[in-house]
Amino acid sequence: MGEEFKRLDRELVYKGTVVDFYKDTVQTPAGHIVKWDFIGHRGAAAVVPVREDGKLLMVRQYRNALDRYTLEIPAGGLNDEGTEPTKLAAARELEEETGYRSEDLELLLTLRTTVAFCNEKIDIYLATNLTRSQQNLDEDEFIHVEAYELKELISMILEGVIEDSKTIAAILAYKEKYLSV
């Protein structure tokens, strides 16, 4: 391609608890100087928990950005430094949010949620051979665990009931990788 963009400056505008907001100054290949928004995220991990009966465990929780409850796969951010191995974070979130554990976590896919302005990266794992443990929610979490057949979840995606991108990508990747003929 030969086209080069050059970041000249990155100014921290706001430091948040989940994301940091920056104003970038970038030089385009044509030499123009432009200002772009950038949101820095420390990363996250998610998990597709599959019970022995084939049902997938999902979490229903309130999402402030949408001002409603959503149905999603369990997920959460990495430690404050963003250095935590995603497999450990996925195992932790599985237990905290669903009350199940698994020693069998396999990387299913990695996705970037919004590449136009954010660097958020989510590693999504498949968890099998689940064993009961205990749900351990944060004080601001109110999560209901529900089990669904894969076909029910696919229908909910196609009907627009499930809109969360990580959940959609994870469910479709699981179907394609493990259940396609």
Return the CATH number at 131: 3.90.79.10
pLDDT at position 137, please?
84
pLDDT at position 83, please?
82
* One-character DSSP codes across 17-45: SSEEEEEEEEE-TTS-EEEEEEEEE--EE
The reply to whether 23 and 81 lie within a common domain is no
At 123-157, the pLDDT tens digits run: 999 999 999 999 888 888 899 999 999 999 999 99
CB of 100 closer than 8 Å to CB of 130: yes
Residues forming a β-bridge with 8: none
Q: Does 46 reside within a domain?
A: yes
122: containing domain: 42-179
The reply to whether 34 and 49 lie within a common domain is no
Active site residues: 139
Q: Does 1 reside within a domain?
A: no
The reply to whether 50 and 36 lie within a common domain is no
Q: Does 160 reside within a domain?
A: yes
Q: 41 vs 7, 76, 78, 115, 142, CA distance in Å?
A: 18, 12, 10, 12, 23
Query: Within 10 A of 175 (CB to CB), how many other CB atoms are there?
Result: 14
Q: Does 22 reside within a domain?
A: yes
Q: Which of 115, 108, 112, 44 is nearest to 76 (CA)?
A: 44
Q: How far apart are CA 41 and CA 159, in angstroms?
A: 30
CB of 74 closer than 8 Å to CB of 49: yes
Residues forming a β-bridge with 72: 59
The reply to whether 21 and 91 lie within a common domain is no
* One-character DSSP codes across 114-166: -TTTB--EEEEEEEES-EE------TT---EEEEE-HHHHHHHHHTTS---HH
Q: Does 58 reside within a domain?
A: yes
pLDDT at position 3, please?
83
3-state secondary structure of 112: strand
pLDDT at position 180, please?
65
pLDDT above 70 covers a percentage of the chain that reads 97
The reply to whether 106 and 93 lie within a common domain is yes
Q: Does 71 reside within a domain?
A: yes
3-state secondary structure of 73: coil
pTM of the complete model: 0.91
Please state which of the ranges 90-94, 105-109, 139-143 shows the lowest mean pLDDT: 139-143
**154 φ/ψ sector (left φ>0, alpha ψ -120 to 50, else beta):** alpha
The reply to whether 53 and 36 lie within a common domain is no
The reply to whether 99 and 109 lie within a common domain is yes
The reply to whether 63 and 34 lie within a common domain is no
Query: How many structural domains comprise the chain?
Result: 2
The reply to whether 50 and 23 lie within a common domain is no
The reply to whether 93 and 31 lie within a common domain is no
Is 70 exceeded by the pLDDT of residue 1? no
The reply to whether 14 and 31 lie within a common domain is yes
The reply to whether 59 and 19 lie within a common domain is no
